[in-house]
Structure 1
């Protein structure tokens, strides 16, 4: 057995897995540096897992109906995963952005599985612009910091 046979991934590609790692690292890094759920490891694994399911479906059947079934099942599973990230605390819902990021990560994995590697990188950059740009806008404009987006200042009481 030679090295090329040893490194053969069958229906999967090293380029696609590299793309999964790149996209997952970019989005996961943004989330992890903010202390949010879905950090680098989770992001890479969500994209890669979705890619593996879609690439396997494409390799097993030439029917787009079969591919659509797998896409539907992945969407259902990812919805369950995203629901687990959300929680309520003091009557407010937290983790909605992280749940939405899980949807985006799965969508990127689907794109990669269907061969749209370059498009997935461009959409990763768009997602980062939303995450970073809206945060910057919320910090700059008082009117965007109302309701659930209000920054709460913690006050400490010192007892005597």
Structure 2
């Protein structure tokens, strides 16, 4: 049986590591913030301590066998309900998957702290923080670069052609993936939907500005 001081130390470490991950989520104003992550980490830490040491007084009793990993396994499967509560559907976008995965990781950190694997718990916390805070800018940059951008052009019929658009796009002409023109509500006016793939925001703005300056173009709207 471990000492009370050791138990307290493990619980405090779990709370500290959980708060470190939770602060990153709190900074982004997600539903599962610092307190939620701390509670998950401390709770899983306590569960594994109870599982490993809470039944030591009945060890040696005939026909009694204990498996300290059973309660830990329940934490891993049971944390799913809390993670599911952080996942939301907003229109066609699913939000909260990263937070749910973070809660699952924090539960594992708590289990590691509770079993005395302090190096593993601290190292995992650092890695999780690097993933959440450090990798996000790279992810957003890649997503920004690979996103399809759509320009909706309202112009006099014949004022905007594929050849003219390619000339305006310049070196990005090869990224033009779709050009659809259809009659607008006004006679002689067309609505044209143009799609570019992997087009930087600045270049898309420049193309839109150049189109607005063309004779016969009434409006250019961007969809990202």
Gaps of 5+ in 2: 57-63, 149-224
TM-score (norm 2): 0.56
CA displacement 1:49-107 (0-9 Å, x = unmatched): 00011000100357996222112211221011111111212122111001101100100
What is the Cα deviation at residue 114 of structure 1?
1.1
The RMSD of aligned alpha carbons is 2.5
**Conserved? CA contact 1:11–1:56, under 8 Å:** no
For residues 145 and 135 of structure 1, the distance between their equivalents in structure 2, rounded to whole angstroms, comes to: 15
Structure 1: unaligned runs, 5 residues or longer: 1-8, 148-160
More strand by share: 2
Q: What's 2:39 paired with? A: 45
Q: Which residue matches 1:120?
A: 121
Q: How far 1:139 moved relative to its partner? A: 3.9
Query: What residue number does 2:151 align with?
Result: none
Report the Cα offset of residue 28 of structure 1. Answer: 0.8
Change beyond 3 A, Cα 1:11–1:22: closer
Larger radius of gyration: 2
> Within 1, Cα distance between the matches of 2:67 and 2:5?
16
Q: Which runs of 4+ in 1 moved over 6 A?
A: 62-65
- For the pair 1:68 / 2:69, whether they are aligned, the reply is yes
Structure of higher RCO (CA pairs closer than 8 Å, 6+ residues apart): 1
Task: Give the secondary-structure state (helix, strand or coil) at the position aligned to 2:29.
Answer: coil
Matched position secondary structure for 1:88: strand
Give the TM-score taking structure 1 as reference length. Answer: 0.76
**What whole-Å deviation, never above 9, does each CA across 1:29-53 have from its counterpart, x for those lacking one?**
1110111122111111000000011
**More helix by percentage:** 1
Alignment of 1:43-122 (within 5 A): 43-61=37-55, 66-122=67-123
